Amino acid sequence: MFFPSRGRRGPDPYLRLRTAVFLVGVGIILAGMQAQRRWAVWLGMGVLLVGVVVRLLTRARRGGEPPEDEADGRMDG
């Protein structure tokens, strides 16, 4: 079973980038829906997919594994 880590992770240097990508993607999707342009909706979804890729790459680069004492999923305390 999965238990989220309660430890602090520190500041995320890519938070602004991911937030900007999310806002641009959602803006494109909403504009495409308003204008009834299917290609714009797909473009917005592609931009959101870029944000997901950035998230996965930054997690892998920072080491997505939990610390040794939290790896077994026990909840102490």
pLDDT values of the chain reduced to their tens digit, one per residue, 77 residues: 677 777 777 777 888 888 999 999 999 999 999 999 999 999 999 999 999 998 888 876 665 554 444 455 555 54
Positive/negative CA dihedral, 22, 26, 27, 28: positive
pLDDT at residue 74, rounded to an integer: 54
Give the C-alpha separation, 70 to 61, whole Å. 19
CA dist 70 and 77 (Å) reads 13
Question: Residue type for 11, please?
Answer: P
Q: Which two tokens stand for residue 10?
A: 């520190």
Q: Helix, strand, or coil here: 37?
A: coil
Domain ranges of the chain: 15-58
